Structure 1
Amino acid sequence: MSQISEEYLNKVLSKVASLCGFEKWTYERETFENIAQNYFGVIIPFVLNGEKHGANESLRIVFKLAPNDERYRDGRPISACIIDYQTTRISSPAYDVLYLIITSTSSQLRKQYYHQLLDIYFTTFKNILSEAQMPLELYSRSMFDEDLKTVAPACTIIANTAIWLSSGLQQEGHVRSKIVLETDKQWTEAVQTYKNRISSIVDDLTSYGYFTHMK
Structure 2
Amino acid sequence: MAQFTFEGDFDILADPQIKLVESVLQKRGFTNGKVIVEPVGQKGDNYVAHVKRFIYEAEDGTSFKMIGKVAPVAEQIRLLMNTVIMFNNEITMYSQVLPKLDEIQNTAVATEDEKVRFPTCYGVVDEAPYEFILLEDLKEAGFEMLDRMEPLSKDGIRLAIKDLAKYHSLSYAFRNSEPELYENYSNRLLNMWAIMASAPETEQYFEALENDLINMIQNVSDKYKNVLKGALSQLAHFAKKIQNYEKGSKYSIIQQGDCWINNILFRLEDGKPIDSVMIDYQLSRESNPASDLLYLLFNCTDHANRKQHYEEWIDYYHEMLDDSLNLHGLKANRIFPKDQLDADLRRYGKMMVSLGLVLSSMLVRESKDVVDIKEMTGDNVVEDAKALMNSSTMDVATLGRLKEKIIGILDSALEFGLI
Q: Which bin holds the TM-score, normalised by the shorter protein?
A: 0.5 to 0.7
The answer to whether residue 133 in structure 2 is matched with residue 59 in structure 1 is yes
Equivalent-residue separation in structure 2 for 1:160 and 1:119 (angstroms)? 25
Q: TM-score, normalised by structure 1?
A: 0.61
Cα 1:8–1:127 shift into 2, 3 Å: farther
Q: Distance in 2 between matches of 1:175 and 1:44?
A: 24
Alignment pair present for 1:197 and 2:394: no
State whether structure 2 residue 292 is matched by structure 1 residue 96. yes
Q: Where do residues 54-93 of structure 1 align in structure 2 (5 Å cutoff)?
A: 56=130, 58-59=132-133, 61=135, 84-93=280-289
- Find the counterpart in structure 2 of residue 166 from structure 1: 363
Q: Deviations over 1:91-133 (max 9, x none)?
A: 1111111111122222111111111111111100110111121
Which moves more between the two structures, 86-95 or 159-168? 159-168
Q: Distance in 1 between matches of 2:118 and 2:289?
A: 22
Change (3 A) 1:21 1:7: closer
Give the superposed CA RMSD: 4.3
Q: Which amino acid aligns with 1:168?
A: R
1:118 aligned partner = 314
Report the CA distance shift for 1:206/1:21 in structure 2 as closer, same or farther (over 3 A): closer
Contact 1:164–1:194 (8 Å) recurs in 2: yes
Q: Which residue of 1 aligns with 2:189?
A: none
- Given that 2:322 and 2:331 are in contact with CA atoms closer than 8 Å, whether structure 1 keeps it comes out as no
1:157, CA displacement in angstroms?
Answer: 2.1
**Secondary structure in structure 2 of the residue aligned to 1:86:** coil
Give the secondary-structure state (helix, strand or coil) at the position aligned to 2:286: coil
Partner of 2:104: 36
1:168 is paired with a residue whose SS is coil
Instruction: Give the 3 Å change call, closer, same or farther, for CA 124–21 of structure 1 in structure 2.
Output: closer
Give the whole-Å Cα distance in 2 for the aligned partners of 1:9 and 1:135. 42
> What is the aligned partner in structure 2 of residue 147 from structure 1?
344
Residue 48 of structure 1 is matched in structure 2 by 123
State which drifts further: 153-162 or 163-172: 163-172
Count the aligned residue pairs: 173
Letter in 2 for 1:58: F
Q: Residues 60 and 83 of structure 1 are in contact (CA less than 8 Å); yes or no, is this contact kept in structure 2?
A: no
Matches within 5 A, 1:128-143: 128-136=324-332, 137-143=334-340
C-alpha distance in 2 between matches for 1:110 and 1:150:
19
Point out where structure 1 has 5 or more consecutive residues left out of the alignment: 1-5, 23-28, 63-80, 178-183
Give yes or no for contact 1:49–1:56 (8 Å, CA) kept in 2.
no
**How many Å separate the matches in 2 of 1:43 and 1:168?**
29
> Do the aligned partners of 1:59 and 1:82 also contact (CA within 8 Å) in 2?
no
- CA 119–8 in structure 1, closer or farther in 2 if over 3 Å, else same: farther
Contact kept in structure 2, 1:148 and 1:210, CA below 8 Å = yes
Q: Distance in 1 between matches of 2:119 and 2:67?
A: 23
Aligned CA distance change for structure 1 residues 196 and 135 (closer, same or farther; 3 Å): same
Q: Larger relative contact order (C-alpha < 8 A, sep ≥ 6)?
A: 2
Separation in 2, partners of 1:44, 1:174: 26
Amino acid at match of 2:297: I
What is the CA–CA distance in structure 2 between the aligned matches of 1:157 and 1:56, rounded to whole Å?
Answer: 33
Task: Give the share of equivalent positions with the same residue, in percent.
Answer: 18
In the superposition, relative to structure 1, how do residues 61 and 83 fare at CA in structure 2: closer, same or farther (>3 Å)?
farther
Note if contact 1:156-1:202 (Cα within 8 Å) is conserved in structure 2.
yes
Contact 1:48 1:59 in 2 (8 A): yes
- Cα distance in 1 between the residues matched to 2:396 and 2:414: 27
Alignment match, 1:10: 28
Asked if 1:207 is matched to 2:415, the reply is yes
Q: Distance in 2 between matches of 1:134 and 1:8?
A: 42
Q: Which amino acid aligns with 1:174?
A: I
Mapped partners of 1:96, 1:36: distance in 2 = 21
Q: Is the 8 A contact 1:122 1:141 kept in 2?
A: yes
Contact 1:61 1:83 in 2 (8 A): no
